[in-house]
């Protein structure tokens, strides 16, 4: 393996050699800010995933380090994120009961499977599969997930039991639990939620009005959730509220991330494989978007396939160190970037900070109410909910609107896995459907020019013996028959026709199905004594066609330009004669 | 409902009013020839489907009549065909044991389900779904099915028991049975197969050499299988071979098609729904190809959606009259057409002929050896096997080759349902993959002209401050990110750049995902102080873009032609200035 190969697969060799004091300062400051932000967030997302709070801390340590070694983004912060935590809860909930040892082990397995899939896709350089998730599907999925996440946390605010993976399941479960609402918990939850909303919207302007600089005000805002954690923990401890029914985090082991062993029984693996695939792809899409946005600001490059390897390593790391599936998070990465992170070393320092927290600070969160963590989640995810995309899609294209609406409805109604799968399938089908009925125009000569335009929209010259069809789409299996049917129906009742010209200026490719359709068309038109011609065929398409017998069998000719075709077939001009492609 | 609507849904009202003596003569002659050909074929295909022989006759009677009323093809002959019979055996074999009453009932249910699906697709005007079966997938599937069918019939030639739905299953089952081979059966089977191959290849020239005219020789050739049936039946009867172990057809009820009632238990329906869908689509594709080919020769029109209704009615009819799934067959339709069928009435007369056969002739086939029927099938299906498509696809496109090869291998290895489903999914994925990495060229001005060409292939003028990219594909979700990545990577290390122009002459559509990618690109390039421009945007694409805020946010301009863009951005010409699209 050459030096370049090493650098490609281990980007750390590239930036590591050039590491200096300026970079160190930037990285250290960023790490402190991100660590403070991540402590409550990691605990909260673990809760959302149905795991003990320490799993969230553990999932932030090894994965950050591994991503720092293998990833290409300078600022991406890897760890538990809301949507992946929800998907983890949905997937693991199908194979084990929440709170059991089997549940935690299944989460480890899920992380390793996701990591394996990401790694495999990266090594096979198959980053393009993320493209199959269209933006409408992603937007719809994120919005619906945000709603599901928020509503799933309401139980902690109310202090009741509830479960489920769809809007109806969670809703009915919450309604059933409503009479058992714990008023003290509710008070803490509502107060924390209200405070955190204020932190997000009103705190920074308020601090600035109080004379604080913009940057310290910004950092204080990031620390808002930590403040909520400290105040409510002290409150529960001081007033002994846990004795009165307020659910608390309780004992969290003081430990570095443990070495853990996922289970790989065939039953478990086969049950988790599809969820792992969905988590990998969704996580990758979320991560690469963030990485690309941040990299572009500094003219840095992101290699999608190397990103797959970085995220794969991070997830495998999570699976062997007590974590669960992770990915690059939007909020934390932006904070990391804005705080001045220069290299992935910032991530390593963050990991160090979180390790210290896991080792030393966990006794301090014994009395932390779960309602506070739920409030953190609710406030974070509601910013993901954006119904504006529905209006936007409606205005732009009904097909895109259909994809968004279906993804939202199906995710809310049937859960994350069915929602996102159906969204992907639907957007592929809609695309095939749209291109299976391409725009086809009958064109004629604009008098006095060499341009050809749609006969329905312009006053153009035509010839009863010559039919010219412009196809505004590549020809492939989904529309091959359409063209065949269209032309055969068009010629069926037109006995004056002697020539059909296909104007191929917008045909970027012709696949084998379309080629066979053209051959059939050529033959059938030949039976009717009509010659088939092509014009304005693109270079790559011509290259491919010349490798077949189609051009030999073609009853007509291949014209360089539509005007050549018109001039030759109608005799209406003294332009250059036909140039059969075989002669070029 | 108006008169025209009636005619659309009941094509019989159209041709029925104009029926005359000439048409009657043509139809009658065709019916006699097709009836003679269909008797052995119907019995044989029933055997292939795992049903009693009379089911093949019944499946040819009501369906032909119903298609004559609802179908649009003048020459299509509907009934049992090889591939659909094989698919029926595979589907019904999963829910019932061959030879039981449950098996026959499940076949009826399958026919009604297929019919219902076809009818629904027709009423919803969704004929386009047949387009999702690419030609390579169809070719591969037909070839592999032909092999599976032929090998599944070898047991009748050997006179042994064997079963299975994949190459390996049938093969091992046959090998296990080999020691029990019945030599008399083998002799009959081999002789019949050899004779039928000779009928297909050598009989017509031989008869012509003997002084027979071409047309009588042709008809005699069609009657070849009947001759094999008569000779082997007489042989078995005369020599009492059934006593010596030669398997015979045995007692077949003398009856018109019975009224039968399919079962619709939820379990059965849900088990058969996917197979029914596959059978519908495969059957429809086979049928519409034949219908279209024959119609084109006489400048007649085929309405694909009305064809769905015709085939739907035929299948529902088959389900209530003791048959099983049917479709328009290639061989019989061509014979019908060549024999001079003028209208669907030819089909009605054929149905009459077969009804007479079912009522009167069944005792005559008591001693007909199953080996003869197997020989009929083997000879018929081996003509479907065409490995040439592999070579052809390889030469044209590796993606198409992949689709053919995978379909063949998966059909042989895992059976018809997995084979065709995987083929469809694979060809869709390959299409998405191909269009997800569109051809993108950096272009420059050909000196002395207004043409722009690929800088890698031509000597062209460029400007270090202006990058012009031509995209040879519509922009949609599968390639939106590709373009974004491509351009951001391209500009990452080029600090002289001030303008990026996207030349959109080959962009037939831009979906919402691609629009959002363009917006992100515009913003990110803006951060780098680079303006984004578009040129040669097509009318329909412009229409859509003007409904959004994209053109307002665009840092650059929209130029009518690439030359306008060049002239304006480089100041290299006195051409017409930029024309922002908003001003049009």
pLDDT digits (tens, 9 = 90+) for A541-571: 888 899 888 999 999 999 988 888 999 998 7
A292 in B contact zone (CB under 8 Å): yes
Chain A residues whose CB is inside 8 A of the B515 CB are 396
Asked whether A534 and A559 are in contact (CB, 8 A), the reply is yes
What's the pLDDT band for A468 if we cut at 50, 70, 90?
Answer: very high
Range of the domain at A154: 21-403
Pick from A174-178, B509-513, B568-572: least confident? B568-572
- Which of B334, B326, B332, B327 lies closest to B293, judged by CA? B334
Among the partner-chain residues B131, B302, B438, the one whose CB lies closest to the CB of A436 is: B131
Query: Beta partners for A533?
Result: A501
Residues 409-428 of A with CB under 8 A from B: 427-428
Which is it for the CA torsion A303, A306, A308, A312, positive or negative? negative
**pLDDT value of position B226:** 85
Are residue B518 and residue B376 in the same domain, yes or no? no
**pLDDT value of position A2:** 52
Distance CA A158, CA A160 (A): 6
**Contact criterion met (CB < 8 Å) for A506 and B508:** yes
Among chain A residues, CA nearest to B399:
A511
**pLDDT value of position B572:** 53
Which H or E run includes A111? helix A101-123
Alpha helices (runs of H) in B493-561, residue ranges in sequence order: 512-527, 539-545, 550-553
pLDDT of residue B434 exceeding 90, the answer is: no
Pick from A155-169, A274-288, B120-134, B516-530: least confident? B120-134
- Number of structural domains (chain A) is 2
A80 versus B539: the higher-pLDDT residue is A80
Residue B89 dihedral angles phi and psi, to the nearest 5°: -60, -40
* Inside any domain, residue A421: no
What's the pLDDT band for A5 if we cut at 50, 70, 90?
Answer: low
* Inside any domain, residue A5: no
In chain A, the percentage of residues whose pLDDT exceeds 90 is: 34
Tokens of B264: 């619709």
**pLDDT value of position B132:** 79
**Contact criterion met (CB < 8 Å) for B131 and A396:** no
* Inside any domain, residue A557: yes
Asked whether A559 and B332 are in contact (CB, 8 A), the reply is no
Are residue B451 and residue B378 in the same domain, yes or no? no
**Contact criterion met (CB < 8 Å) for A524 and B296:** yes
Residues 6+ apart with CB under 8 A from B111: B59, B262, B315, B316, B318, B319, B323, B324, B325, B326
For residues B430-440, average pLDDT: 85
Tokens of B524: 């990110």
Please give the span between the terminal C-alpha atoms of chain B, in angstroms, as a whole number: 45
Q: To probe the interface with B, which of A307, A393, A431 has the most B CB atoms within 10 Å?
A: A431
**pLDDT value of position B40:** 85
Give the closest-approach CA distance of B430 to chain A in angstroms. 11
B482 versus B572: the higher-pLDDT residue is B482
Chain B residues whose CB is inside 8 A of the A491 CB are 299
For residues B305-310, average pLDDT: 92
What's the pLDDT band for A578 if we cut at 50, 70, 90?
Answer: very low
Are residue A42 and residue A127 in the same domain, yes or no? yes
For residues A321-327, average pLDDT: 94
Give the closest-approach CA distance of A62 to chain B in angstroms. 29
Asked whether B40 and B373 are in contact (CB, 8 A), the reply is yes
**pLDDT value of position A425:** 87
Asked whether A376 and A191 are in contact (CB, 8 A), the reply is no
Are residue A314 and residue A454 in the same domain, yes or no? no
pLDDT of residue B512 exceeding 70, the answer is: yes
Check residue B84 and report its DSSP letter. Answer: H
Are residue B538 and residue B395 in the same domain, yes or no? no
For residues A358-369, average pLDDT: 87
Q: In A252-345, where do the E strands start and end?
A: 327-328
B531 versus A162: the higher-pLDDT residue is B531
What's the pLDDT band for B480 if we cut at 50, 70, 90?
Answer: confident
A392 in B contact zone (CB under 8 Å): yes
Among the partner-chain residues A132, A392, A477, the one whose CB lies closest to the CB of B131 is: A477
**pLDDT value of position A211:** 85
**Contact criterion met (CB < 8 Å) for A474 and B435:** yes
Which is it for the CA torsion A50, A51, A52, A54, positive or negative? negative
pLDDT of residue B4 exceeding 70, the answer is: no
B36 versus B7: the higher-pLDDT residue is B36
Strands A531-535 and A499-503 come out as: parallel
A17 versus A552: the higher-pLDDT residue is A552
Chains A & B: contacts with CB separation below 8 Å: 187
A88 versus A97: the higher-pLDDT residue is A88
Rounded CA Rg of chain B: 31
Distance CA B478, CA A18 (A): 37
Are residue B396 and residue B475 in the same domain, yes or no? no
Residues 6+ apart with CB under 8 A from A356: none
Among chain A residues, CA nearest to B548:
A396
Among the partner-chain residues B128, B439, B477, the one whose CB lies closest to the CB of A131 is: B477
B41 in A contact zone (CB under 8 Å): no
For residues A299-304, average pLDDT: 78
**Contact criterion met (CB < 8 Å) for A527 and B296:** yes
pLDDT digits (tens, 9 = 90+) for A22-42: 788 888 888 888 888 888 889
Chain A residues whose CB is inside 8 A of the B288 CB are 481
Residues 6+ apart with CB under 8 A from A71: A11, A78, A291, A306, A307, A310, A311, A314, A344
Chain B residues whose CB is inside 8 A of the A337 CB are none
**Domain end: B403, B420, B450, which one?**
B403
Q: pTM, whole model, 2 decimals?
A: 0.78
Q: To probe the interface with A, which of B307, B431, B543 has the most A CB atoms within 10 Å?
A: B431
Which H or E run includes A442? strand A440-445
Q: What is the mean pLDDT of chain B?
A: 86
pLDDT of residue A293 exceeding 90, the answer is: no
- Collapsing DSSP to helix, strand or coil, A419 comes out as helix
pLDDT digits (tens, 9 = 90+) for A500-532: 999 998 888 899 889 988 998 999 899 889 999
pLDDT digits (tens, 9 = 90+) for B237-289: 999 888 888 888 888 888 888 888 898 889 999 999 999 999 999 999 889 88
DSSP secondary structure letters along A226-265: HHHHHHHHHHHHHTTGGGGT--B-------SPPP------
* Inside any domain, residue A419: no
What's the pLDDT band for B6 if we cut at 50, 70, 90?
Answer: low
B431 in A contact zone (CB under 8 Å): yes
pLDDT of residue A266 exceeding 60, the answer is: yes
Give the closest-approach CA distance of B571 to chain A in angstroms. 27
Q: To probe the interface with A, which of B290, B294, B296, B301 has the most A CB atoms within 10 Å?
A: B296
The three-state (H, E, C) secondary structure of B398-433, written as one string: HHHHHHHHHHHHHHHHHCHHHHHHHHHHHHHHHHHH
**pLDDT value of position A449:** 81
Chain B residues whose CB is inside 8 A of the A426 CB are none
For residues B194-217, average pLDDT: 85
A219 versus A66: the higher-pLDDT residue is A66
Strands A466-471 and B78-79 come out as: unpaired
- Which of A562, A42, A14 lies closest to A252, judged by CA? A42
pLDDT of residue B48 exceeding 60, the answer is: yes
Tokens of A435: 């291109």
pLDDT digits (tens, 9 = 90+) for A422-431: 888 888 888 8
pLDDT of residue B582 exceeding 70, the answer is: no
Angle at CA A308, nearest 5°, toward A302 and A310? 80
Are residue B329 and residue B477 in the same domain, yes or no? no
**pLDDT value of position B530:** 93
pLDDT of residue A573 exceeding 60, the answer is: no
Are residue B389 and residue B447 in the same domain, yes or no? no
Distance CA B513, CA A392 (A): 12
pLDDT of residue A581 exceeding 70, the answer is: no
Distance CA B106, CA B103 (A): 5
* Inside any domain, residue B433: no
* Inside any domain, residue B420: no
pLDDT of residue B8 exceeding 80, the answer is: no
Distance CA B454, CA B471 (A): 11
- Collapsing DSSP to helix, strand or coil, A18 comes out as coil
Q: To probe the interface with B, which of A281, A393, A396, A437 has the most B CB atoms within 10 Å?
A: A396
B391 in A contact zone (CB under 8 Å): no
**pLDDT value of position A195:** 93
Distance CA B126, CA A312 (A): 42
**Contact criterion met (CB < 8 Å) for B492 and A299:** yes
CATH number, domain containing residue B456? 3.30.750.24
**pLDDT value of position A584:** 29
**Contact criterion met (CB < 8 Å) for B297 and A524:** yes
Q: What is the mean pLDDT of chain A?
A: 86
Are residue A476 and residue A377 in the same domain, yes or no? no
Pick from A137-141, B159-163, B214-218, B258-262: least confident? B214-218
Are residue B60 and residue B198 in the same domain, yes or no? yes
* Inside any domain, residue A115: yes
B544 in A contact zone (CB under 8 Å): yes
For residues A87-114, average pLDDT: 91
What's the pLDDT band for B210 if we cut at 50, 70, 90?
Answer: confident
* Inside any domain, residue A410: no
Distance CA A196, CA A229 (A): 11
Residues 6+ apart with CB under 8 A from B42: B53, B56, B57, B59, B60, B79, B80, B354
- Which of B38, B48, B113, B118 lies closest to B282, judged by CA? B118
**pLDDT value of position A312:** 96
pLDDT digits (tens, 9 = 90+) for A41-70: 898 899 899 999 999 999 999 999 999 889
Distance CA B427, CA A477 (A): 9
- Residues B515, B516, B518, B520, Cα dihedral to 10°: 170
Residues 6+ apart with CB under 8 A from A142: A83, A384, A386
Give the closest-approach CA distance of A397 to chain B in angstroms. 7
Distance CA B422, CA A51 (A): 38
Among the partner-chain residues B393, B508, B517, the one whose CB lies closest to the CB of A473 is: B508
Residues 6+ apart with CB under 8 A from A156: A47, A185, A189, A247, A370, A371, A373, A374
**Contact criterion met (CB < 8 Å) for B432 and A293:** no
Distance CA A121, CA A68 (A): 19
**pLDDT value of position B577:** 39
What's the pLDDT band for A572 if we cut at 50, 70, 90?
Answer: low
pLDDT of residue B7 exceeding 60, the answer is: yes
For residues B20-46, average pLDDT: 85
What's the pLDDT band for B384 if we cut at 50, 70, 90?
Answer: confident
- Number of continuous H segments (helices) and E segments (strands) in chain B: 25, 8
Question: What length is written for chain B?
Answer: 584
**pLDDT value of position B522:** 93
Are residue A361 and residue A510 in the same domain, yes or no? no
Neighbours of A454 (CB within 10 A): 15
Are residue B361 and residue B489 in the same domain, yes or no? no
Distance CA B6, CA B1 (A): 7
Which H or E run includes B79? strand B78-79
Among the partner-chain residues B304, B438, B477, the one whose CB lies closest to the CB of A485 is: B304
**pLDDT value of position A4:** 58
- Which of A139, A366, A142 lies closest to A246, judged by CA? A366
**Domain end: A403, A429, A448, which one?**
A403
Among chain A residues, CA nearest to B404:
A512
- Collapsing DSSP to helix, strand or coil, A500 comes out as strand
What's the pLDDT band for A20 if we cut at 50, 70, 90?
Answer: confident
**Domain end: A403, A427, A449, which one?**
A403
Pick from A391-405, B197-211, B213-227: least confident? B213-227
Query: Beta partners for A442?
Result: A469
**pLDDT value of position B573:** 43
- Collapsing DSSP to helix, strand or coil, A99 comes out as coil
**pLDDT value of position A87:** 92
Among chain A residues, CA nearest to B433:
A128
**pLDDT value of position A116:** 96
- Which of A360, A377, A357, A367 lies closest to A58, judged by CA? A357
pLDDT digits (tens, 9 = 90+) for B327-341: 998 888 888 888 788
**pLDDT value of position B382:** 85
């Amino acid at each position: 393996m050459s030096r370049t190969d090493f650098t490609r697969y281990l980007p750390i060799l590239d930036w590591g050699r050039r590491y200096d004091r300026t970079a160190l300062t930037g990285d250290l400051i960023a790490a402190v800010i991100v660590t403070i932000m991540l402590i409550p967030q990691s605990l909260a997302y673990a809760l959302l995933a149905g795991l003990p709070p320490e799993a969230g801390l553990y999932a932030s340590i090894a994965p950050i380090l591994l991503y720092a070694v293998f990833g290409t983004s300078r600022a991406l912060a890897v760890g538990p994120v809301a949507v992946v935590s929800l998907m983890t809860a949905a997937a693991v909930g199908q194979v084990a009961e929440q709170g059991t040892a089997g549940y935690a082990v299944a989460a480890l397995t899920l992380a390793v499977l996701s990591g394996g899939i990401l790694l495999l896709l990266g090594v096979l350089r198959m980053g393009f599969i993320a493209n199959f998730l269209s933006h409408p599907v992603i937007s719809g999925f994120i919005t619906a997930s945000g709603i599901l996440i928020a509503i799933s946390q309401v139980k902690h605010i109310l202090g009741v039991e509830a479960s489920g993976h769809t809007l109806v399941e969670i809703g009915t479960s919450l309604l059933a639990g409503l009479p058992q609402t714990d008023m003290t918990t509710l008070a803490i939850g509502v107060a924390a939620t209200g405070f955190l909303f204020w932190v997000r919207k009103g705190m920074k302007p308020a601090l600035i009005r109080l004379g604080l600089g913009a940057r310290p005000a910004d950092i204080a805002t990031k620390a808002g959730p930590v403040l909520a954690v400290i105040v409510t923990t002290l409150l529960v401890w001081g007033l002994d509220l846990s004795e009165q029914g307020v659910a608390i985090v309780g004992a969290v082991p003081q430990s570095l991330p443990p070495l853990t062993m996922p289970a790989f029984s065939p039953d478990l693996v086969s049950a988790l494989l599809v969820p792992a695939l969905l988590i990998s792809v969704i996580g990758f899409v979320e991560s690469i978007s963030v990485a690309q946005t941040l990299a572009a600001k500094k003219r840095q490059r992101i290699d999608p396939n190397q990103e797959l390897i970085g995220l794969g390593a991070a997830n495998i790391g999570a699976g062997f160190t007590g974590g669960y599936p992770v990915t690059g998070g939007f909020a934390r990465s932006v904070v990391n970037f804005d705080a001045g992170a220069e290299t992935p070393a910032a991530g390593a320092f963050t990991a160090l900070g979180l390790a210290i927290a896991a080792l030393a600070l966990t006794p301090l969160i014994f009395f932390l109410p779960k309602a506070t963590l739920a409030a953190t989640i609710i406030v974070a995810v509601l910013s993901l909910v954006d119904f504006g995309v529905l209006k936007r899609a409606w205005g732009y294209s009904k097909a895109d609107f259909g994809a968004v609406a279906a993804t939202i409805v199906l995710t809310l109604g049937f859960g994350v896995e069915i929602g996102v799968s159906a969204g992907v399938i639907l957007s592929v089908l809609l695309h095939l459907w749209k291109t299976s009925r391409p725009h086809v125009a009958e064109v004629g000569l604009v008098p006095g020019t060499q341009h050809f335009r749609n006969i329905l929209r312009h006053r153009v010259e035509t010839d009863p013996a010559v039919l010219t069809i412009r196809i505004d789409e590549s020809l492939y299996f989904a529309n091959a028959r359409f063209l065949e049917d269209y032309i055969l129906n068009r010629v069926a009742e037109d006995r004056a026709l002697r020539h059909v010209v296909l104007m191929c200026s917008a045909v970027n490719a012709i696949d084998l199905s379309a080629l066979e359709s053209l051959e059939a068309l050529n033959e059938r038109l030949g039976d009717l004594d009509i010659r088939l011609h092509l014009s304005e065929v693109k270079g790559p398409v011509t290259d491919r066609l010349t490798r077949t017998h189609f051009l030999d069998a073609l009853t007509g000719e291949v014209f360089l330009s539509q005007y050549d075709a018109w001039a030759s077939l109608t005799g209406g001009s003294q332009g250059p004669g036909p140039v059969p492609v075989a002669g070029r």
